[in-house]
Structure 1
Amino acid sequence: MHNPLGIHAFTWSSPWNMDDGYHAVERAAALGYNIIAVPLRDMSAIDPAALVKMLEVNGMRTRAAMGMSLDADISSADCEIAQKGEARLMQAIAMARDIGATQMGGIIYSALTKYTVAPTPEGRRHCIEILARCAEAAKAAGITITLEPANRYETNLVNTAAQGLALIEAIGADNVLLHLDTYHMNIEENDIAQAIRACGHKLGYFEVSESHRGYLGSGQVDFVSTFRALAEIGYSGPIGFEAFTSNRTKPALAGIMSLWRPLWEDADDIAAHARDFIRTQLASARRAIATRP
């Protein structure tokens, strides 16, 4: 079982621009990653043809990463705001297609922000209806949508894998899967391994991140049971690494994610460490499953 390794471009630079983007693609490829997550929050900063060339030169694939804003929140009860969100998602799907991405994921079912009220039934209905239409457009473009449950401080709609699975069932499209991230799971799940097992074939992207967004293995996430659960369900999809730090993230985004201190300095070093950590955990988990009585 081979899992392609992915990494977020923000490991090297935030926000995205084409010069820093080229550096991120080049360094990710040199360090043995197969996929780079390209943020679509500011699509005006992306030159699709130039990015495709970058990827080809470095033998890399890409996935589109997206986070929505309150003024374009598809889970809003306000029809005008929800419609603005739908237009933005349709634009993102077209951009994902143009850069050669076969997946688009992230917190796209609501805004990426701290809400002060619970979601409304009408807002959830808007979300489901819009994502169903977006899934149809994505399928025509050869794109799978992966929904990422996030912690309670970054969304109010989908905090757990179970909530994500329920939303996927309501959408009813076979190209909508789940994107799990251990950073969020460590906050919201009762049992990370059990949540992974419950996802089964609905898991489309798995992101590895430490409880404090720093070096893997230096925080609170139980990676041994996490990787064993991935092996148990036979997950062969992409495994991505994500680490953020205040000194490499623009202030607006750092504020949304509450990045108030530097957690690491050397992007190449943390990326290389994550590569080795993930490979070691995968190999160990597969051996443990293979040798069970």
Structure 2
Amino acid sequence: MNSPEIACGINVYCTGPDAADLPSALDDMAELGYSHIALSPISEDATDVAALKKALNDSGIRPIPMAGQAPQANVASADEAVRARGLDLLKSSIDLAHELEADQLNGVVYALFGDHQEPFSGERIAESARLVGQAADYAAQAGIRMTFEVVNRYETSMLNTAAQAIDYVRQSGSDNLFVHLDSYHMGIEEADIPGAIRSALPVLGYLELGQSGRGSLLTGSVDIRAAVQAAKEAGYTGRFGLEAFTRQLLVTGGANALAIWRRTYSDPHAVAAEAVDIIRSVYAEQ
């Protein structure tokens, strides 16, 4: 079976899209065999989009931008006007993804990141799904596949498991909304990571590999190889992603928001190479 496409998270190598070392990071990713880079959240106001496009085009690496929500623009809000602005924010993220010539958009698009004070009601989940479904249909018109990341209980109280995500897709009513599973979050929330991957296969659009300590995939409590093996055996043909964080390669606000308090690795090339080796070796097995 041919090895699938693999994306590398931008923060594996550098602080963000405006980092001076982004071009060299992109070249290293390309040399290792990555096809895509998963970007941190960006906006046209805060990012030199033209420079980013040039760096991507020069390297041959394609972008996977990230969308999110804001306190006053949130599809999961109890306030109708705030929900409407949340949909508008998603559409603007889709427009920016299209400008970057992306074919996929990731992110926690269904609620405000960090909102975990209490459970969401079924009504608010359903309304969030309906609006995100509209955004996904809008993305389809631009040739962009929209995925949403399932994160752990400390980052949201809305969607924490593959089962919840599958039901959310159903409620969205969109054929262009897909699930983004991350082995780091699954290590917290799922009793059976391979089983969760298999169950989500019909709507699984992105499988991200992250270790419990958020550093090297070779060191931690998550069986990364088993996750890749489960995807292969289930017939998964979508993209994989690598996500790793270390404090010295994050801006302070981002590091604090993600609770990355220490240096988890010092060699981005080695961490990126490990992920490619794991995926390729599993897919090379008969």
TM-score, normalisation: structure 1: 0.91
**Aligned counterpart, 1:290:** none
- The 3-state SS of whatever aligns with 1:108 is coil
**Aligned counterpart, 2:8:** 7
**Aligned counterpart, 1:263:** 264
Give the stretch that moved more between structures: 142-151 or 11-20: 11-20
Shift of 1:18: 5.8
**Aligned counterpart, 2:177:** 176
CA–CA distance in 2 between the matches of 1:256 and 1:73? 18
- The 3-state SS of whatever aligns with 1:147 is strand
**Aligned counterpart, 1:291:** none
CA–CA distance in 1 between the matches of 2:173 and 2:29? 35
CA–CA distance in 1 between the matches of 2:261 and 2:111? 24
**Aligned counterpart, 1:142:** 143
Give the stretch that moved more between structures: 129-138 or 114-123: 114-123
- Cα pair distance change 1:43/1:164, threshold 3 Å: farther
Q: Which runs of 4+ in 1 moved over 6 A?
A: none
Shift of 1:160: 0.5
TM-score, normalisation: structure 2: 0.93
Shift of 1:183: 0.3
**Aligned counterpart, 2:233:** 232
**Aligned counterpart, 1:56:** 57
Shift of 1:17: 1.2
Q: Which amino acid aligns with 2:9?
A: H
Give the stretch that moved more between structures: 246-255 or 143-152: 246-255
- The 3-state SS of whatever aligns with 1:263 is coil
**Aligned counterpart, 2:84:** 83
What value does the CA root-mean-square deviation take over the aligned residues? 1.8
- Asked whether the 8 Å contact 2:23–2:59 carries over to 1, the reply is no
Q: Which amino acid aligns with 1:278?
A: I
| Identity across the alignment (%) | 34
CA–CA distance in 1 between the matches of 2:81 and 2:21? 35
Q: Which amino acid aligns with 1:183?
A: Y
| Equivalences for residues 91-110 of structure 1 within 5 A | 91-110=92-111
Shift of 1:114: 4.7
Cα displacement string for residues 161-181 of structure 1 (whole angstroms, at most 9, x for unaligned residues): 111110000111111111111
- The 3-state SS of whatever aligns with 2:133 is helix
Question: Which stretches in structure 1 are left out of the alignment for 5+ residues?
Answer: 288-293
**Aligned counterpart, 1:113:** 114
Aligned length: 285
